[in-house]
């Protein structure tokens, strides 16, 4: 399974299965001289921790992170940072009945065909717990970006048919509801919707929006490693994401040029754009305005209703999934989306350090 | 500009500006033993060539491809394949007035800020002509995939408000209209819409859909290099794409699990899924059913109406773009979407060759 | 510190400092279906474990390896394999006096200048303990190669002036002496030489030779990723190696073509070469004969005699190194050389799986 | 043939066969703002051009380089730089008799086994002409390094048994003799030696030494991407190199620590080392002193004496090689060694730009 390493300069290598001993990540290429503590990383992991409200799996995991290397006297040394989280509350027995059959909407069938073997306990490497490594690494990337003035904020924009109203937008309120929505009114409706789905043993899709402020201009490499292409790679690599939009996204395909083009103007001696249909990215590079992107998550595939499927002997069977599962993915994925954005942007920022002779001269002359 | 190389095993390296001497691509990692001719590659390039109908820039380019290396007596040798296309019909003077000002919706401003210098003639490296290298390499990737039985087909699904009706779907008809739509009726409406936009000096967005048949199961690497993540990277790296959808895409976020999950069944002794909301990808791996994805293109940013913008001295100015530009990007991008899919899938297919001990044994024992 | 990840398909990511909590490695890209146990990996680590005889640091480390992921019911699943070894017998106080001064022959000075910070305890990331990750990953690579019939054997060829006599060559005898030499007589002389160096608080250089049997033909990629170039990269990345030779190595530069060219002949219906000056590699590809390479290690830089150096304030000082150090590096590096060869060759073997259309057809048709 | 791309940030992609239409290189990741002309690059290519004296193949090639992209008004723009050199004086007929038999010391046999097909004309991709791309890219890397104050100089240190005497060392004199030796007296002896070898239809090995002055401290990444490991990779990837030494090289294995350790001292308020056994690299990082390395080249394998070999049907045959070949590789490889050092060092220099938070702050704050 090539594919558990991400990034070109700021490289992260994640590992671990849902029901194995532990999960973790190693970050290679983190600059030296960054203050870093376990508490700081923990604060990010706590945001994705299960069991925090009734819309989340009751699996109890403290998800306590430990720094094993790369930090000396509270500061990064430039050597690889190894982070580990031990698994605790595993109910592997819940999955015994899944050893031989393929859950619809899950990776089970593909795993068996690709590798000829599969750790069937809890989704193995395709479990939501795989994101622990992303978030732990994302915490570090976020800290570096913050020190350079860049801010990343994600939130749930919609749950099923319930979409936030930007007139009610209050980012800080996402901590006040159990669905990470920045619109209290919408959050309440969404919670009711979730209650009804839980009652009917069903689940729902959702949309997470992410905004990034204070981006330097010119981040992203034209052609194949455009900022939007790299962000799409990172975001689409999160389990259950089925679409990614930048700026106006799918609506750009029904717009016209005279509207979609964002005019440049000068305001207070600064370059601004009077609109931001582009979502802050032009020609694959950041244009200095706010970056806006959306990730669309499919409904949690683990539902408790009986479902048609097959087993590994090609028998048609009907399964009822047990175990502990969220009825929605978006709210707990908010911090994962932020993390993938942070890692991706930091990596491109580091690459961009070599874009012109002037930059090299700043460092070596 | 790191970022003009794409792929991990089947690697392509593209180069060339809109108004430079030539454009080209080098493919490193193409397997030996593939029959390959200039004529074959040319047939792909002809599909993206300008000036073929009234909805395309009248720039006249024969876009004649030449194989400079890597092919001996009509067969690939395993060495790098270098392909070159010389530029011919350049009207660089059209761009003289753009040397000092930034076109809205274009990369001009970002280029200047990132590199401190910019080839202002015709978009330079961000021109649509940059896709020549993608398509030439895509032709080769497609040939290899075809020999393994895999087929890739793209078409225009919508232009502005005009969306194809799948009841009228006839893939072969895309060659009969000037907008690459597989629905004759819709194509006519779309052509009228384009006529009206040309009259009003405006442009439109569009959506290209791509389907891939006969995929082996298990292609794509779980976690960061999921098939959908890699395809998103490749597709979003095409200029003007603002959103990418897999299967149900954005609609997955408003669906429920009991509908969105595709049940596995057995039909004629084969595994099938009775629906395909997932678009042929589960857990980041191909599941054996048809892969379906959509790329949403923004309207061509080069429009002939006067527009507000700024120049490089931060003066507010009003520009009228000259030059030769398509009023829509989608139809000519169909073959580009196919190409990026082919390159991406082939690369993952080659990586997958090492997924299990059995495969290694097939080759080395 | 980009640079702790190695390989292109079989990728290893190592981490950990000499005096940190633990060291480890994650292998991404290991094929599924390989039987693997902690005991097997342990047998490799035991070969590099300290404190096994008087020529090795008395640091007591059980160096017990634990598999944290990637193995299910004794078989690799294709997911990343995370291996960890906890540090135990750390005497960090021994290094307190080194916090502010730079040991000659060590990386201390460069670390401080590069990163602005340094974990001064026991060499940090430049300690010999860094090789734990290499050897653990090398054990896995070796197992795969062995299953394909390839064998790798390294041994100490010379210690200071004492060079083995190939007339006495007996590979199995390397376990019988404390210097890993396949010539008992030479080993005895070398041991005496080491005794004298220990008495004079000095250390010695050494040469490790490695032979690889049953290589498939054509492994290695012409041009930049030649088999010899990749092996040189891997071997030279081992701390203290100052030269690498393939086949006749440095002597090739004083030879003539009529001697240095190895004639091809047929023997028992098989292609052979009557000599092997090339060391089994032609044009950067394995030629089917035995691969032969040599790594030259400098003397252990940590010696107990007083030495001239400077401190971080640019004062000239005189230091006497404490701590526990081997008077020679070669014998314990034998398994490290084997490991880097195994990892490098396996990675190229996996890449080579896609060298021709025939191979793709074997897997996908 | 994965393996024709080199570098991580400053990436070069070379292509072209000895007897194909052309050869070339594309550089992706060259910083913008560098003045660059064809004349400058040509001056490097002229140093490796054939036919300049009697010890070089009489093949007549003007090897005229053309810049196809990436340079606008004499300055690099940050986009990929494509360079091309057309082949002219090809005598492909000379090679007709080699289509079916394998030259000893050449890659022919391995190519056939690896790819199942081979361009037998003049060595194809394994010809010395492959280095055109390296040298063209090396010219650019050298220019950037020079602007940062770094200087790279290579020369022939020995030819067969004739080794330069450092008491006679005069770098500028390498242009005065036909063997690129910085010792006139030794050069004369070496020329006589070459005359005798030409008479006897034989060839000789040689050693090229390279020194690098004014290196910033800390370049190179500890662990796998050590400066010496990366240089070894680059140098060993040059055809015919069989050994690489850093500093004392192979002699380090017979030295003792008390001699081999280079003491740090202060001189004129600067850090110096009183000796340089390490060749300017400690722990895989540049230590600020002169970098010294040596590449050992085997004798040219193409000799005109009859040789034993086999053909592709496994018949034993005797061949006499025709064509035009140098009796020695070293002198023309001097500029190739410099080029690979320049490319490798620049790439690590660019990577190092992100080694600490301070550097990021210099660029982004």
Digit-coded pLDDT (tens) for A147-179: 999 999 999 999 999 999 999 999 999 989 999
Instruction: Give the C-alpha separation, B55 to C56, whole Å.
Output: 78
Q: Measure the CA–CA gap between C213 and A183, rounded to whole angstroms.
A: 68
pLDDT of C35: 98
DSSP string for A301-314: S--SS-EEEEBTTS
Whole-number Å distance between alpha carbons of A81 and A32: 11
> At B59, is the pLDDT very low, low, confident or very high (cuts 50, 70, 90)?
low
Q: What is the pLDDT of residue A96?
A: 65
Q: How far apart are CA D355 and CA D357, in angstroms?
A: 7
pLDDT given for residue C164 in this prediction: 98
Q: Is the per-residue pLDDT at C89 higher than 90?
A: no
- Report CB contact under 8 Å: D271, C107: no
CA A365 – CA A218 distance, rounded (Å): 23
Look-up: residue for tokens 């070496």? Answer: D190
CA nearest to C284, candidates C200, C199, C222: C222
Exposed/middle/buried for residue D269 (C-beta within 10 Å: 0-12, 13-18, 19+): exposed
Write down the pTM of the prediction. Answer: 0.97
Nearest to A41 by CA among A79, A17, A71, A16: A71
pLDDT tens digits along C296-336: 999 999 999 999 999 999 999 999 887 767 899 999 999 99
How close, in Å, is residue A310 to chain B by CA atoms?
6
User: According to the model, what pLDDT value does residue A186 have?
Assistant: 97
Position C267 pLDDT exceeds 70: yes
pLDDT number for residue C56: 77
Q: How far is D199 from chain C (nearest CA, A)?
A: 13
Predicted confidence (pLDDT) per residue in A197-212, tens digit:
999 999 999 999 999 9
Q: What is the pLDDT of residue C122?
A: 67
Produce one character per residue of B297-314: b if its CB has 16 or more CB atoms within 10 Å, e if not.
bbbbbbbbeebebbeeee
- CB contact (8 A) between residue B216 and residue C31: no
Q: Which A-chain residues 6-35 have CB contacts (< 8 A) with chain D?
A: 8-10, 29, 31-34
Q: How far apart are CA C319 and CA C307, in angstroms?
A: 5
| Lowest-confidence pick of A53-57, A162-166, C248-252 | A53-57
Give B292-340 pLDDT, tens digit per residue: 999 999 999 999 999 999 999 999 999 988 776 789 999 999 999 999 9
**What was the pLDDT predicted at D181?**
97
Burial state string for A83-92 with b = 16 or more CB within 10 A and e = fewer than 16: bbbbbeebee
- Res C264: pLDDT: 97
Nearest by CB to B117, from D17, D33, D125: name it: D33
Burial class (CB in 10 A: 0-12, 13-18, 19+), A74: exposed
Contact between A265 and B3 using a beta-carbon 8 Å cutoff: no
ipTM > 0.90 (yes/no): yes
B338 has a chain A CB within 8 A of its CB: no
Going by pLDDT thresholds of 50, 70 and 90, the confidence category of residue A297 is very high
CA distance D341 to D139: 11
Residue range D76-114, pLDDT digits in tens: 999 999 999 999 866 666 666 778 899 999 999 999 999
Determine whether the interchain pair C15/A119 forms a contact, defined as Cβ–Cβ distance below 8 Å: no
Choose from C224, C274, C312 for mutation: most chain D CBs within 10 A. Answer: C224
Burial C194-209 (b: 16+ CB within 10 A, else e): beebeeeebbbbbbbb
Which percentage of chain A shows pLDDT scores above 90?
85
Question: What is the total residue count of chain D?
Answer: 365
pLDDT (mean) for D236-264: 98
pLDDT tens readout for residues A92-145: 666 667 788 999 999 999 999 999 998 887 678 888 899 999 999 999 999 999
pLDDT score of A1 more than 60: no
What integer pLDDT is reported at residue A92 of this predicted model? 61
Answer yes or no: are the C-beta atoms of D335 and D154 closer than 8 Å: yes
Distance from the A236 Cα atom to the nearest Cα atom in chain D, whole angstroms:
25
For the stretch C110-124, pLDDT in tens is: 999 999 998 887 678
**Confidence band for B365, pLDDT divided at 50, 70 and 90:** confident
CB contact under 8 Å between A32 and C80, yes or no, is no
Write down the mean pLDDT value for chain C.
94
**Residues A336, A344 contacting (CB under 8 angstroms):** no
pLDDT the model gives residue B149? 97
* B297 reaches A (C-beta below 8 A): yes
C254, with CB counted inside 10 A (0-12, 13-18, 19+), is buried
- CA-CA distance, C67 to C83, in Å (whole number)? 5
* Neighbors of chain C by Cβ distance (3+ pairs < 8 Å): A, B, D
Q: By C-alpha distance, which of B242, B249, B254, B259 is closest to B228?
A: B249
**Quick one: average pLDDT of B88-117?**
84
Chain B within 8 Å of C148 (Cβ-Cβ)? yes
Contact B354 C29 (CB under 8 A): yes
Sequence-separated (6 or more) residues with CB below 8 Å from residue D322: D94, D95, D97, D304
Residues whose CB is less than 8 angstroms from the CB of residue B151 and which lie 6 or more positions away in sequence, other chains included = B145, B212, B213, B214
D362 in contact with chain C, both atoms CB, cutoff 8 A: no
Contacting chains of A (3 CB pairs or more, <8 Å) are: B, C, D
CA A17 centroid distance within chain: 18
* Three-class DSSP category at C54: coil
- Nearest Cα of chain B lies from the Cα of C148 at a distance, in angstroms, of 7
Backbone angles phi, psi at B46, to 5 degrees: -60, -30
Helix, strand, or coil (residue B101): strand
The answer to whether B4 contacts A307, with C-beta atoms less than 8 Å apart, is no
Contact yes or no for C3 and D299 at CB 8 A = no
Could you tell me if B153 and B127 are in contact, meaning their C-beta atoms sit under 8 angstroms apart?
no
Q: Helix, strand or coil for residue B26?
A: strand
Question: Nearest-CA distance from B362 to chain C in Å?
Answer: 7
Do residues A158 and A176 touch, judged by C-beta distance below 8 A?
no
User: What would the pLDDT profile of D256-307 be if each residue is shown by its tens digit?
Assistant: 999 999 999 999 999 999 999 999 999 999 999 999 999 999 999 999 999 9
A76 vs A140: CA distance, rounded Å? 10
Q: Tokens representing D290?
A: 């002169």
pLDDT score of A129: 92
List CB contacts (< 8 A) between A365 and chain D: 148-149
Distance from CA of B7 to the nearest CA of C (A): 12
**b/e sequence A139-172, b meaning 16+ C-beta within 10 Å:** bbbbbbbeebebebebbbbbbbebbbeeeeeeee
| Tens of pLDDT, residues B250-273 | 999 999 999 999 999 999 999 999
Whole-number pLDDT of residue A324: 67
State the distance between the two ends of chain D, measured CA to CA, in whole angstroms: 43
Identify the weakest region by mean pLDDT among A29-38, A322-331, B235-244, B341-350.
A322-331
Contact A2 C9 (CB under 8 A): yes
- CA angle B275/B277/B278 to nearest 5° reads 115
Q: What are the pLDDT digits (tens) for D207-228? A: 999 999 999 999 999 999 999 9
* pLDDT-derived band at B135, boundaries 50, 70, 90: very high
Q: Residue D166: pLDDT above 70?
A: yes
Whether C28 and A1 lie within 8 Å, measured CB to CB:
yes
Residues B101 and B118: their CA atoms lie apart, in Å, by 11
Give contacts of A227 with chain B, Cβ < 8 Å.
none
Q: How far is B222 from chain D (nearest CA, A)?
A: 23
pLDDT bin (cut points 50, 70, 90) of residue C52 is confident
């Amino acid at each position: 399974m090539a594919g558990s390493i991400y990034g070109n300069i700021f490289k992260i290598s994640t590992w671990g299965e849902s029901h194995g001993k532990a999960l973790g990540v190693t970050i290679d290429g983190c600059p030296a001289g960054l203050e870093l503590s376990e508490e700081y990383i923990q604060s990010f992991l706590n945001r994705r921790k299960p069991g925090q409200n009734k819309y989340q799996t009751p699996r109890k995991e403290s998800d306590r992170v430990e720094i094993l290397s790369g930090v000396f006297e509270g500061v990064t040394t430039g050597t690889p940072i190894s982070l580990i989280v031990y698994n605790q509350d595993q109910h592997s027995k819940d999955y015994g009945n899944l050893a031989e059959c393929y859950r619809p909407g899950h990776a089970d069938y593909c795993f068996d065909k690709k590798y000829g073997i599969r750790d069937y306990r809890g989704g193995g490497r395709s479990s939501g717990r795989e994101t622990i490594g992303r978030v732990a690494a994302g915490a570090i990337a976020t800290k570096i970006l913050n020190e350079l003035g860049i801010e990343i904020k994600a939130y749930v924009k919609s749950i099923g048919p319930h979409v936030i109203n930007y007139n009610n937008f209050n980012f800080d309120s996402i901590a006040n509801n159990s669905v990470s929505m920045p619109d209290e009114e919408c959050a309440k409706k969404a919670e009711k919707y979730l209650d009804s789905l839980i009652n009917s043993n069903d689940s729902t899709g959702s949309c997470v929006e992410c905004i990034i402020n204070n981006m330097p201009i010119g981040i992203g490499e034209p052609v194949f490693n455009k900022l939007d292409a790299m962000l799409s790679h990172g975001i689409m690599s999160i389990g259950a994401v089925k679409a990614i939009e930048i700026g106006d996204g799918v609506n750009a395909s029904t717009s016209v040029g005279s509207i979609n083009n964002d005019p440049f103007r000068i305001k207070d001696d600064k370059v601004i754009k009077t609109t931001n249909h582009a979502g802050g990215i032009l020609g694959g590079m950041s244009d200095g305005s706010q970056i806006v992107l959306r990730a669309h998550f499919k409904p949690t595939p683990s539902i408790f209703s009986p479902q048609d499927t097959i087993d590994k002997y090609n028998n048609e069977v009907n399964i009822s999934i047990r175990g502990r599962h969220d009825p929605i993915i978006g709210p707990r994925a908010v911090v994962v989306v932020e993390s993938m954005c942070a890692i991706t942007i930091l990596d491109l920022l580091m690459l961009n350090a070599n874009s012109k002779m002037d930059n090299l001269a700043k460092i070596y002359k």
